[in-house]
């Protein structure tokens, strides 16, 4: 057995030797698990703007750098989903529900601390 850690919730994942680890535990992959907290404070301004862009219903990050988007995917804050259209695949980005709820709470708290109401 080998030990791996879920990138979203930090849970230990024991896997039989020879199996390739996934980024997320089974519960996170099914949207059933949420970490104790997400570290939104450490996001750069560009990463926060990308998160806000997604929250406004935009699912294309064409105007954000690939590095910015990849960092959010790696942290488990957004997921890349392919949608087949004929021979092309259109890539979209989604925010898992636990991340969405935590992001909304973080934004509400931080906007309130700064005195913003909109």
pLDDT tens for 14-52 read 666 665 656 666 666 665 555 556 888 899 999 998 998
Token representation of residue 25:
């535990």
CATH 1.10.10 residue window(s) in the chain: 39-118
Identify the DSSP state of 22. P
Percent of all residues in the chain with a pLDDT value above 90, rounded to a whole number: 6
Asked if residue 26 lies in contact with residue 6, where contact means CB atoms within 8 angstroms, the answer is: no
Identify the DSSP state of 97. H
Report the mean per-residue pLDDT for the chain: 76
- CATH among 2.60.120, 1.10.10, 1.20.1420, 1.10.3470 for 39-118: 1.10.10
**CA separation for the pair 93, 42 (Å, rounded):** 21
Asked if residue 37 lies in contact with residue 76, where contact means CB atoms within 8 angstroms, the answer is: no
């Amino acid at each position: 057995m080998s030990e791996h850690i879920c990138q979203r919730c930090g849970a230990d994942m024991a896997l039989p030797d020879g199996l390739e680890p996934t980024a997320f535990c089974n519960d996170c992959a099914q949207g059933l698990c949420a970490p104790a907290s997400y570290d939104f404070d450490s996001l750069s301004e560009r990463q926060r703007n990308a998160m806000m862009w997604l929250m406004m219903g935009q699912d294309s990050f064409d105007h954000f750098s690939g590095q910015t988007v990849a960092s959010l995917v790696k942290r488990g804050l957004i997921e890349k989903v392919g949608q087949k259209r004929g021979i092309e695949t259109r890539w979209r980005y989604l925010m898992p529900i636990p991340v969405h709820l935590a992001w909304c709470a973080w934004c509400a708290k931080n906007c309130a601390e700064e005195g913003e109401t909109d």
